[in-house]
């Protein structure tokens, strides 16, 4: 039995690469948002022993997880300045953390998670 060849134009490399990029973006958004929401940590955070917590001490929710992801995109736009901000911020928050109202803590300090919102920022030594 002979089949007829498919009708249409074959997709080029660029179209296929763009489609693949869209697939990867959708999967990464899903994984990062669901992980941050359900577990309070992304896969990278798990490997590094980090945990995402809200500044008010409440449990992460879908709105905060989405805000944080959008904040990551915004933080990356101006030459990753929003991520470099972590180096100079007293509470080590990037722009995405400030937008979403989150902190990233080491999991060893998990016992501090409940009281972190009430703790003043660390004082810097002058001199």
Alpha carbon dihedral 10, 15, 19, 22, in 10-degree steps, equals -170
Cβ-proximal residues to 19 (8 Å cutoff; 6+ apart), any chain: 11
Residues 44-70 pLDDT 10s? 888 898 999 999 988 888 889 989 989
Q: How far apart are CA 16 and CA 21, in angstroms?
A: 9
Task: Report the helix count and the strand count for the chain, using DSSP H and E.
Answer: 5, 2
**pLDDT band with cut points at 50, 70 and 90 for residue 124:** low
CB distance 42 to 52 below 8 Å? yes
Helix (H/G/I), strand (E/B), else coil: 53: strand
pLDDT of residue 31: 87
pLDDT of residue 96: 95
Residues 78-118 pLDDT 10s? 999 999 999 999 999 999 999 999 999 998 655 555 555 55
Is the pLDDT score of 123 beyond 80?
Answer: no
Residue keyed to tokens 């002979």: 2
Nearest to 93 by CA among 114, 109, 71: 71
The whole model's pTM is what? 0.65
């Amino acid at each position: 039995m002979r089949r007829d060849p498919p009708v249409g134009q074959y997709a080029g490399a660029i179209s296929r690469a763009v489609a693949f990029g869209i697939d990867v973006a959708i999967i990464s958004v899903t994984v990062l948002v669901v992980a941050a929401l359900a577990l309070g940590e992304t896969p990278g955070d798990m490997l590094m022993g980090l945990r995402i917590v809200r500044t008010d001490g409440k449990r992460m929710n879908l709105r905060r997880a989405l805000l944080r992801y959008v904040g990551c995109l915004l933080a990356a736009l101006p030459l990753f300045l929003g991520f470099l901000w972590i180096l100079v911020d007293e509470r080590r928050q990037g722009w995405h953390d400030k937008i979403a109202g989150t902190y990233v803590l080491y999991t060893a300090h998990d016992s501090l998670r409940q009281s972190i919102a009430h703790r003043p920022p660390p004082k810097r030594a002058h001199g």
